[in-house]
Every structure is written in structure tokens, then in C-alpha cells.
Amino acid sequence: MGTLHELGRVGAFLTDIGRLADGGEIKRFVFKQSGRILGEEHPSTISAMNNLAITLGDLGQLDEAAKVKKEVLEKRQRILGEEHPSTISAMNNLAITLGDLGQLDEAAKMKKEVLEKRQRILGEEHPDTTSGMNNLASTLGDLGQLDEAAKMKK
């Protein structure tokens, strides 16, 4: 498994330097091989799936990215539970992609849930909570709910 981990790092490096397509191919390979070797429910396989989904979004393949991110979220909910930080991050990632796809109502609903969980679990001042508030405010602004968005940005 060490080789797959290192290959995943190469994929991340390639995407970091702007070679998204090459990085995406490597991440797809790592995901498929992790699933074959470790199983579809293994945390490393789910992480590889998440890494691939992020790169798909960066490549502009938003429909496929949303599909994969939804699967990541479902697996993390089932395996880790609704309140686990990785589950909440997966929900946030999917919400961002849904917003990018123009599904603003669904994105706002998910971002609100992310914010509420982060406020309850991490507290009001945590950077992830503040980021969640900003994300929700931006989506509310996109929906034309400017007063509500302005209240959140204060």
C-alpha cells in the first residue's frame, strides 16, 4: 500500500503545480487500486475518492465531481457518523460543488447544516466555523437574500 500512498502524493503534487489532468489520472488510478486492494469502505479508499472528486471539480467536470462527492459523503455518514469532522467537510465540499452547478437552494441548505454543526461542535470562533459562515453568506447573496447574507458577514 506504500506505493499507492506515494503515487497519491505524486498526483497531489501534479495538481498543485497546475497539471490537473495528469494529477487527475493518477488520482483515479490510486482510487481504483485502493478499492481493489483495500475495499470500497476502507478510509484510504474513501480519501482517494475524495481527492479525485476535488480534482474533477478543479478540471471543471462538475457533474462527475458532485456525483463522487455525494458518494464520499454517504460513505462517511454511514461509517464515521453525521458529526465526524470528515463527514462535515465532505458535506461542505459537496455543497460548494452544488453551488458551482447552480443548485443554490440545495447548496444553501447543506451549507447551513455545515455551519450549524461546526458552531455546535467547534464553537463560534473556530476558523472552520467562520469559513462555513462565509460560505453560507456567499450562497445566500447569490440567491438574492442580501439582508440575511449581510447579517452573517458582520
Fold classification of 63-154 is 1.25.40
Q: What is the DSSP letter of 84?
A: S
Q: Tell me the backbone φ, ψ of residue 42, rounded to 5 degrees.
A: -70, 140
> Residues with Cβ < 8 Å from 123, sequence gap 6 or more?
129
Domain ranges of the chain: 1-60, 63-154
pLDDT per residue as tens digits for the range 76-119 = 999 999 999 999 999 999 999 999 999 999 999 999 999 999 99
pLDDT the model gives residue 151:
84
pTM of the model: 0.90
> Per residue of the chain (154 residues), what is the pLDDT tens digit?
689 989 999 999 999 999 999 999 999 999 999 999 999 999 999 999 999 999 999 999 999 999 999 999 999 999 999 999 999 999 999 999 999 999 999 999 999 999 999 999 999 999 999 999 999 999 999 999 998 888 887 6
The total of other beta-carbon atoms located within 10 Å of residue 76's CB is 23
